[in-house]
Amino acid sequence: MSYKSYLSILGYLFLILYAQGCNAPSEPISELVTGRGIVTSKGMVVTAHPLASEVGATVLKNGGNAFDAAVAVQFALAVVYPGAGNIAGGGFAVYRKENGEIGSLDFREKAPLAAKVDMYLDEGGEVIDGLSSFGALSVGVPGTVDGMIQLHQKLGTLPFKDLVQPAIDLARNGFLLTELEANKLNRFQDQILQANDSTTYFFNPQKWQKGDLVVLPQLANTLELIRDSGRAGFYSGCVANYLIEEMASGNGIISQIDLDSYKAVWRDPVQGSFKQYNIISMPPPSSGGIALLQLLKGSETYDFNAFGHNSVRSIHLMTELERRVYADRATYLCDPDFVEVPVAMLLDSIYLKTRFSDIHMDAKTDSRKIKEGAVDAIESIETTHFSIVDKERNAIAVTTTLNGNYGSKVFVEKGGFFLNNEMDDFSVKPGAPNQYGLVGGKANAIAPGKRMLSSMTPTVVEKEGQLFMVVGSPGGSTIITSVYQTILNVVEHNMDMQQAIHAKKTHHQWMPDRILYEQSGLDTTIQSGLEHLGHALEARNPIGQINAVLVLPDGRLQGGADPRGDNMACGLK
C-alpha cells in the first residue's frame, strides 16, 4: 500500500501526531483533539491505542452515541491492538445513560460443553504446567462478537455496518506498529511460532520494528462477514469452520454447538456508596465490582488525605484491606449462574466491619492467618480497557481481553485472529494459582458452559446523582487495585484525572504475601517503613494501564490516558 493511500485513510496531521507520540495539538483538528489529560466539551474516548481512540471519537463526531463508539472501538482494537483487543475473547461493559439508567453486559467467555473439572490435571491429580494457558485446549468459547451485537441492538443508534467499517479499513489497508507493540510481538515470537507455523501474519523472523506496516486481509474478510451478517458472520459459516478446524488440529474441544449456544448476558451492576459518591461496577462472574466496593467501604473511615499519597500509612492500610478482599475473592466469587454468590453478605456493612476489624496500623497481618493458600509466582498479563462519554453524557466502561498476551497464542490463519486462553481463569485445582498468581476455590471450578471468574473492573462513578467518572484498567489481578487507587487519588488526594493515572501504584492480592510496587515508585524511606511493619516488597513495572474520563466541576470532560502504554484520549471540542 502506498504512503499516499495510507494518509488518505488516517488523515495527514493525525499520522504526524502518531509518529511523534501523539502529543496534543494546540488547536482542534476537524473538531478532534488528541492527547493525554486533554479537556473537551462534546465527548471523550480513551483507549489503549491512538487509532482506536480516533475511530471512537470520529463516531461521536458523526452523530453516534457513546455506545456506538464502544462498538467501533472494540472492533478497531481487534485490529491495531492484537495482544488484547479481540473478536475471539470476551469482556464486560458497565454503562450509564444520560437519564441515569444503568446496566452491565457480560460477554465473558464460557467453558466448552466438553470441558471437565479435572481436564488440566495429570493421573496423580497434579496440574499439568501450561495446559490451561497455552494452545487450543486453553480456549474458552468467545463472547466478544455476540456482546458487541447485543450492545448495539439495545443502546446503539448508528447502523452496525458503519461501526465495523473503520476496523475493516484498518485491517485491509494496514496500520503502523508502535514501538511498544513491535517489542511485544518480538517478545512472544517463539510462543506464537510454537502454537502455529511461520506463515502467521504476526511471525516475523527479521523482528518487528516501530513503523512497520501490518496488513491483515483475512481479518478484514472476517470483519466484513460480521458487518454484513452480524452474529452469523462469526459464530457460523466459514469463520466458525476455521475456528473449529483450529480446535481439531490442536486438540481443542470447542464445537459448533458451543458457538451456536453462546449468548452474552445483561446483568444488574453492583452498587455501593463511598462518601458522597455512588460506585457502579461489574457483578459476578467478575470479582472486580464486589472487591472494589469492599475496598472503598473499608477505606471510608480513614483519612487518606491526611496520611498522604503513597505514604507508609496509606500503603500499609491499602495492603491490609486488599489481602482480606482477595482472600474473599478466592473463597466466594464465581459464575452466579452455577453457584450462588453471597453478594449481599460480602457488601454488608456489619460483615465488612468485622472483616476489617483486626487490621492494625502498627504491624502487617500474615496472609495465612486470613485464609490458607500458597502461590509461587505472578506473571505478566494483557487486557485492555476503554472509557467513553458522549456530548449527552451517556457513558460506558468496557474491559475486554484474550487473557494472556495474544491469548492462547493460537492464530486462526484463515480468519486472521488470535484465540483466548481464558480457561486458565478457572480454578483448575482448588488452591492452585493461575498464571497471574490468583488462587481460586471450588466455587470457580471448571464446568461445561460455565463462565470463568475475572478481575475486570469497568466502573462508573456518580457524584450527587450526576456522572462523575468512567474508569477501568487492564492488568489481571492488579486491575482491581489499580482502579481502587485511581479513585482514591481523585477523591482523597485531590488529583486530576491524568495525575491520578500517572501516579505510581502498589498491589497486594493476599497471596503471594508481598507488596508489588512500581519501579522508582517508593523511595527508600517508604520502603524501610513498610519493611519495619513486616511487609515484603517486590519491584515491578508497570502496574495497570488506566483509561478514564472525569467530569470537571464546569461540566467539561478530562480524558486521562495511561502513559505506561500507547494509551491516548481523543475528544470533541
pTM: 0.93
Question: Among residues 383, 384, 399, 400, which one is catalytic?
Answer: 383
Beta strand ranges found along 444-487 (DSSP E): 459-463, 466-472
Helix, strand, coil shares of the chain, percent, nearest 5, are: 40, 20, 45
Alpha carbons 410 and 556: distance in angstroms, whole number: 43
Task: Specify the CATH class of 267-378+455-572 in words.
Answer: alpha beta
**C-beta neighbour count of 251 within 10 angstroms:** 10
Beta bridge partners of residue 561, listed in sequence order: 547
How does pLDDT run across 361-417, given as a tens digit for each residue? 999 999 988 875 544 334 445 799 999 999 999 999 999 999 999 999 999 999 999
Active site residue 47: no
Q: Long-range contacts: 180-189, Cβ < 8 Å, 24+?
A: 180/565, 180/566, 181/81, 181/82, 181/83, 181/208, 181/566, 182/208, 182/209, 182/210, 182/212, 183/208, 184/83, 184/405, 188/405, 188/406, 188/409
**pLDDT at residue 434, rounded to an integer:** 64
**pLDDT at residue 15, rounded to an integer:** 39
Is 93's pLDDT higher than 70? yes
**pLDDT at residue 21, rounded to an integer:** 36
Is 5's pLDDT higher than 50? no
Instruction: State the cell numbers at 194.
Output: 510454537
Q: How far is C-alpha 149 from the chain's CA centre? A: 19
How does pLDDT run across 111-164, given as a tens digit for each residue? 999 999 999 999 999 999 999 999 999 999 999 999 999 999 999 999 999 999
The amino acid present at 431, given as its one-letter code, is G
How does pLDDT run across 164-186, given as a tens digit for each residue? 999 999 999 999 999 999 999 99
How does pLDDT run across 172-228, given as a tens digit for each residue? 999 999 999 999 999 999 999 999 977 788 989 899 999 999 999 999 999 999 999
Instruction: State the cell numbers at 438.
Output: 490468583
Instruction: State the cell numbers at 122.
Output: 495429570
Q: What is the mean pLDDT of the chain?
A: 92
Domain boundaries, the chain: 82-260+381-444, 267-378+455-572
